[in-house]
Amino acid sequence: MKSIILGAVIAALLHITPTVVLVKREDAVARLLPGAEQFTAREFHVSSADSRKLHDAVGWEPPDGMVTFYIGKHQDQVAGALLFMRVDCQHGPLELAVGFDLRGTIRGVEVTKATVEMKPWVLEALRAGLTEAYRGLATDQPPAGADKVKPRIGAMPGYMAELIDKGVMHAEAAYRMLYGRK
Amino acid sequence: MLYDLRHSDLRVRWLVTLLLATLGTSYLFGAWMVALYAGFSPHKVAETYGPAGEAVMAMQMPPDTTIVAERPVSMAEMGEEMHHVDKDLLVQDTHVHMPMYAVIAACLSVIALGLAIPRWAGLAIIAILFAAPWLDFAGMWLTKLASPGFAFVTLAGGWAMALGYTIVAALAMWQMWLGRKTNP
């Protein structure tokens, strides 16, 4: 009986906490594609070779081989693009929205989802100005937001910042290698 | 018989009752969650765990060259995320849920051991309780890796879980409180 109770406690502790919305996707779209009133989804069903290239470049492959960019248009002119990027860790998933402007540089990053456990860590990293470090980055510039905020935040928020850096790096690679293809 | 719930101490019967009530409540919320995120039809389960994207049923293998498709979407469509479980998330789900399912199956099996039922019936109930999570996750993985047609295995796992719980809860409640034989 002791082992059953111990097992239940361990299982409960290991259980990933539920996901919470930090920023609604609609709000993230409005912030990252300002003024856009028409949208298209550009969906890439990525080949094995391209998946491998992405993996070699940034250690990431698109989940189930799919990458979707949402392109915003204002009066039929492209205003920018964004993609939602998930980053997994042992505490659960994070979701980012990474927006690109017309020059292909990062317009902004929003953390749209986290788990209940991760939320306070993520918020601490965001309050320290993490996402400001990504603004204007070209897609070949590695994100270094975590290095900038780590001296001012705790260890777990620092770890969250590293994960967000990683998500931005994956989004940059996807944009660099896929976005311009027709 | 290891022990007999019909003749067990009031505290044991109280514990078992509360455990069953708590598990039953969590199962109801579990069913609600499945309805919200996956659905109860093979098609919905296949959409959730199968390959992603527009050509969900048609294209399971990566194409030889990257294929691009563009379509208009509304703001609302971008906002409503379709819940899709990819391979990485399924690895995580399997890792965190299987131990919990095992503990629940073990708890219900311990209750089943105290029921006044034939030996074969006890073995069958325990088999159902442990088969349910195996079917559940085997179905998810087969849907992901082999064919969306295996979605029914996940549904069978869910129904087996409900069946196992219902049998144990109904028999335990009856034997502990209603059809109870007092000690001579």
Q: What is the ipTM of this complex?
A: 0.75
Contact A121, A153 (CB under 8 A): no
Distance, CA of B135 to CA of B107 (rounded, Å): 19
Say whether B100 and A11 touch across the interface (CB within 8 A): yes
Say whether A44 and B68 touch across the interface (CB within 8 A): yes
Cβ-based interface (< 8 Å): residues of B facing A: 51-55, 59, 62-79, 81, 84, 86-89, 92, 96, 99-100, 102-103, 106-107, 110
Q: Which chain A residues touch B51 with a CB distance below 8 Å?
A: 64-65
CB atoms inside a 10 Å sphere around CB B156: 16
Give the residue, B77 or B167, on which the prediction is more confident: B167
> Which CATH number describes the domain made up of A16-179?
3.90.1010.10
A21 touching B (Cβ < 8 Å): no
Cα B6 from chain centroid (whole Å): 29
CB contacts under 8 A, A 52-81 vs B, are 63-66, 70-71
Q: Which chain B residues touch A38 with a CB distance below 8 Å?
A: 72
CB atoms inside a 10 Å sphere around CB A83: 22
List pLDDT tens digits, range A66-86: 899 999 999 989 999 999 999
How far off is chain A from B15, nearest CA to CA, in Å? 13
A84 touching B (Cβ < 8 Å): yes
**What is the percentage of chain B residues whose pLDDT exceeds 70?**
89
Q: Residue B145: is its pLDDT beyond 60?
A: yes
User: What's the confidence (pLDDT) of residue B1?
Assistant: 64
Q: Residue B86: is its pLDDT beyond 60?
A: yes
User: What's the confidence (pLDDT) of residue A11?
Assistant: 47
Say whether A4 and B68 touch across the interface (CB within 8 A): no
Tokens, residue A143: 């994100």
Q: Which chain A residues touch B2 with a CB distance below 8 Å?
A: none
User: What's the confidence (pLDDT) of residue B182?
Assistant: 55
Domain locations in chain B? Answer: 5-178
On whether the pTM is more than 0.80, the answer is: no
Tokens, residue B80: 């409503």
Average pLDDT (A16-21) is 77
